[in-house]
Amino acid sequence: MVFRIGYGGMMVGGQMSEEQTHETLNHAFDVAGMNWLDTSESFPHPILPEHAHKADPIIGSWLKGRDRSKVILCTKVAGRHEQMTWLRKDGTFPKLTRDHVMESVHGSLERMGTDYIDVLSFGDWPERQTQHPGNYFWKKSDEHQTYMDFEEQLMIVQELKEQGLVRHVATAGDTAFGVTRYCEHAIWDELPKIAFCTQEYNLFTQNKVEFDLVEACTPRQENVAIVATQTLGGGVFSGKYLYERNQWDRKTGLRLNDYPGFQGRYNSPRMRSQLDVYQKIASKYDMSVHQLATAFVHNKPFITAALVGATNKYQIDQNIAALDTVLPEECCRDIIAVQDADIEPMLGPSEVEPMLTAYQDNLGQEFANVDDENTNFWGRIDGDYEGP
């Protein structure tokens, strides 16, 4: 059985040294009771040439001293990223082709010194054009890019399963459409079914999950687990940004300051203002803002598990301690009041220009195939329809 919290390796090899990673993972698995971890060929983040493939060898060196059968190892094939030209051997940007998936899997296995991957996820984001952090606004022009069909992706996983290299498949940052299509092809073509979908979910942002994924993933529909990521909002809800507020922009050793632009969606006046309100709510109910944020996620019945990118033992213990916290009804009402006032604080001033760009891009675009006689009903609206 998978523990309700998994270890997210996004900082391994970047902010976290090999020694620090081993100490944290040993505590997570031996003391806290975790049994699964998530990494990626693109880790650590932020995505930089000097970070390429740095997490895998560190995780591999930790795996050497452990019973491999007791560790559920999840990793990801990097999705389309046209600026990331340093990840593939041929110098092209990563994309979900058979050659790239095979190169990714074999490279990950070699770097981590293991014979198999328990769960292989496709991308940190879908290959096709979707809205995701840093790209909230759908543009018709981007829809013309080519991407591997869902069936083809699952066929590659089937091949890897038959070779004993991969045991399960998942998807990362996907939508209800993507989850449904994966599941449909698993049934139609007798291919592996996705085990879970990871998606960003925290006190700042719930729309992608609650307004999109939940219906598709419910047991009555596709029965796919939802694994929450960024539960502490890029570390903002850890509490470290609440102290010495006048030093927010000058402190070092903090992701939002050391890497300007990385997860910048969590660093805006609206976010800081909302963080202050959540801190007051947490104090009102005698808990830390970290405990409030973690309990908020785990109190949701549709969240199966969460990934945490803890960098030390103390942060691991904080997450475990908050697992069984049940938020009082009045506390939930206070949280809802904050969200009613500003449901998506990530969409701040920095998103105005992309929104206008998407709007201009979509002007005059034809979204329906009006030439298809099987789907064309627009003529009826124009008065041309004469009835059956």
Write out the residue range of the structural domain in which residue 171 sits.
5-235+291-326
* pLDDT surpasses 90 at 357: no
Position 170 pLDDT exceeds 50: yes
- Rounded to two decimals, the pTM is 0.85
Whether 224 is in a domain gets the answer yes
Give the end-to-end CA distance of the chain in Å, rounded to a whole number: 57
Lowest mean pLDDT among 53-57, 95-99, 197-201: 95-99
The per-residue pLDDT for 380 is 43
Residue 168 — very low, low, confident or very high, per pLDDT cuts 50/70/90?
A: very high
In a domain, 276, yes or no: no
At 241-269, the pLDDT tens digits run: 654 444 445 455 556 656 555 556 677 77
Whether residue 133 has pLDDT greater than 80: no
pLDDT at 83: 79
Look at residue 136 and tell me whether its pLDDT is greater than 60.
Answer: no
Taking all residues of the chain, what is their mean pLDDT, rounded to a whole number? 82
Please report whether residue 218 resides in a domain. Answer: yes
The model's pLDDT over 1-11, given as tens digits with 9 standing for 90+, comes to: 789 999 999 88
Mean pLDDT of 79-90: 82
Report yes or no on 38 lying in a domain. yes
Q: Is it the case that residue 197 has pLDDT exceeding 70?
A: yes
Domain count, the chain: 1
- Highest mean pLDDT pick, 81-85, 147-151, 316-320, 355-359: 316-320
The reply to whether 250 falls in a domain is no
Distances from the Cα of 183 to the Cαs of 152, 188, 246, in angstroms? 13, 9, 49
Helices (H) and strands (E) in the chain, counts: 14, 8
| Residue 381 is assigned to a structural domain of this protein | no
Whether a cis peptide bond, with omega within 30° of 0, leads into 46 is yes
* pLDDT classification of 205: cutoffs 50, 70, 90: confident
Share of the chain above pLDDT 90, in %: 51
Interatomic CA distance for residues 196 and 174, integer angstroms: 10
Query: Closest Cα partner for 7 from 227, 293, 238?
Result: 227
Asked if the model's pLDDT at residue 146 lies above 80, the reply is: no
Checking if the pLDDT of 126 tops 80, the result is no
pLDDT at 142 over 70: no
- The residues near 238 (Cβ < 8 Å, ≥ 6 apart) are 232, 290, 315, 318
Residue 365 lies in a domain: no
Q: Which of 97-111, 155-169, 298-312, 351-365 shows the lowest mean pLDDT across its residues?
A: 351-365
Q: Of 119, 121, 139, give the one whose Cα is nearest residue 129.
A: 139
| Sign of the dihedral defined by the CA atoms of residues 37, 162, 112, 147, in that order | negative
> Is the predicted pLDDT of residue 318 greater than 60, yes or no?
yes
* pLDDT tens figures, 28-48: 999 999 999 999 998 887 778
Average pLDDT over residues 207-232: 92
Residue 14 in this model has a pLDDT that exceeds 80: yes
Residue 225's CATH number: 3.20.20.100
Inside any domain, residue 93 = yes
Place of tokens 């809800």: 237
**Which pLDDT value is given to residue 268?**
72
- pLDDT-above-70 percentage for the chain: 77
Please report the pLDDT score of residue 252 as a whole number: 53
Average pLDDT, integer, range 186-190? 95
Please tell me which residue, 343 or 212, carries the higher pLDDT value: 212
pLDDT at 368 exceeding the cut of 70: no
Q: What is the DSSP string of 350-386?
A: GGHHHHHHHHHHHTT---S-TT-TTT--HHHHTT---
At 227, the pLDDT band (50, 70, 90 cuts) reads very high
